[in-house]
A and B are shown apart, each in its own frame.
Chain A
């Protein structure tokens, strides 16, 4: 059992007790909604998880790593952000790829841009959760709102690096 599962289990126990104490149909309505969302999510999720594993194998991470060095500056941040957007899988795979990048000399801002882009656009999450639960119009709004964030994160990290080392901008 992971910590997350324990926390969720405890939250469920507390909420279920509170709902039952109301002595109306709160508990039943809550469980009903959970069952409906389960039906919507789980069959798709099984397929998507399997697909994500295959696609992750197909991403050429060693090739991409060549473009992420500190001397590449803004280009590195842009390439890293683009790479992060196409990783369609969970943290195991995303962080393994980040580790490959780090070993081959990727700069800190590029790594931050990569991880940020992955957290925001992980395709499996969009298809498994966001579209079924919120809908396409929310996805469109969110994607347009956050698309600049990986770039901003990389740029802020670059600026922070300059401040920390006391070196003037090149």
Chain B
């Protein structure tokens, strides 16, 4: 499917509005209904209002994050990545992946898009789990923007220190679990070459 062709656009539409989308739409309607019936129209209005604010703030950031992840994916030196955080990278690979997760800026869009990038680029399962766990639990941006204002410096520092070894433990568990891992195939013309 060449970029920009009619079939490419059709593929985009299929991806965007497939079964998954309608499932989500149904869930949104049902939870809205439950909220309205259980908590009344006022709580419904508050929730909807917050949601719309959140949406307006989120979409521009998603565009930026996906553009960055797309470029990283196109330029990533795969062999070097495999050496750093591939199957034989040991504890050091897990530590590197955790550190990368901690410093990854931006919200879930950039983190998960980059996770898909390094997953396709030869990172092993332990490193993938360590990376996203490091980002989830310890991401500096969330710590500074959310933890500190809401919970205070002392609590946030305690949480950070207590959690520091945990992404590596998760990576070790992921390497030990006897599960098959098949990553979602990327769409588009590159799918075959990875």
Contacts and interface: CB of A to CB of B under 8 A. Distances in A.
Interface in A115-170: 115-116, 119-120, 125, 127-135, 137-138, 140-142, 144-146, 148-149, 152-153, 156-157, 160
Interface residues of A, number: 87
Contacts of A90: 54
Contacts of A96: 150
Contact of A27 (B62, B74, B141): B74
Contacts, number: 287
Contacts of B31: 51, 54-55, 58
Size category of the binding interface on chain B: 35 or more
Given A8-B105, A47-B25, 9 more contacts: A16-B71, A18-B71, A35-B12, A44-B24, A58-B35, A91-B145, A141-B177, A142-B133, A152-B169
Interface of B: 3, 11-13, 15-17, 20-21, 24-25, 27-28, 30-32, 34-35, 38-39, 43-44, 46-48, 50-51, 54-55, 58-75, 105-110, 112-113, 115-116, 119, 125, 128-129, 132-133, 136-137, 141-142, 145-147, 150-151, 155, 158-159, 161-163, 166, 169-171, 173-174, 177, 179-184, 186-190
Interface of A: 2-5, 7-9, 11-12, 15-16, 18-19, 22, 26-58, 90-92, 95-96, 98-99, 102, 108, 111-112, 115-116, 119-120, 125, 127-135, 137-138, 140-142, 144-146, 148-149, 152-153, 156-157, 160
